[in-house]
Amino acid sequence: MAVRPILQFPHAALRTPCDRVESFGADLNALATDLLDTMRAAPGVGITAAHIGILKRLVVIELDRDEGARFYVNPQIVSSSDQTIRHVEGSVSMPGVTDEVARPASILVRYQDLTGEIHEDTADGFSAVCIQHEIDQLDGIFWLQRLSKLRRDRLVKKWEKMRG
């Protein structure tokens, strides 16, 4: 449908908790389609409505174009493993800046689909990392907040230098 402008770090909306989606229908479907188009154009593997300034709990993740996109409405992590993995993360709101983040290796996530139906799925590895990363964003936690202050400060300086 449309590629929308992505908010750039340190925009305040990227640190603002999102509201639950209460209305399921054409508007939500149009927003989901715009998010998918925006994410693919960025390019990225995950995006939230907050990345385009809409503070609603909607996530789009597409790890493999052939498998298609997954839409998570009002997602929440029900449980997570004690085992952790480290993976390089970044954001469509801070392109070109990445670092390793440690997260639980597997999760159980509860969410609604675009029709409002409730689902529970397990995810592990990179999929679990992506879902946790995007749920953090919905909770107003930008991925840099998962880093030590030293690493975070270094990356913010790099970002500011890249932006000119």
> Which residues have a catalytic role annotated?
134
Whole-number Cα distances in Å, 102 to 1, 108, 129, 132, 146:
35, 17, 9, 11, 8
- Of 78, 133, 77, 86, the C-alpha closest to 105 is 86
Helices vs strands, H then E, count in the chain: 3, 7
Burial 90-108 (b: 16+ CB within 10 A, else e): bbbbbbebebebebbbbbe
14 burial type by CB count under 10 A (0-12 exposed, 13-18 middle, 19+ buried): buried
Six-digit token string for 67 = 């498998």
The residue count for the chain: 164
Distance separating alpha carbons of residues 106 and 151, to the nearest angstrom: 25
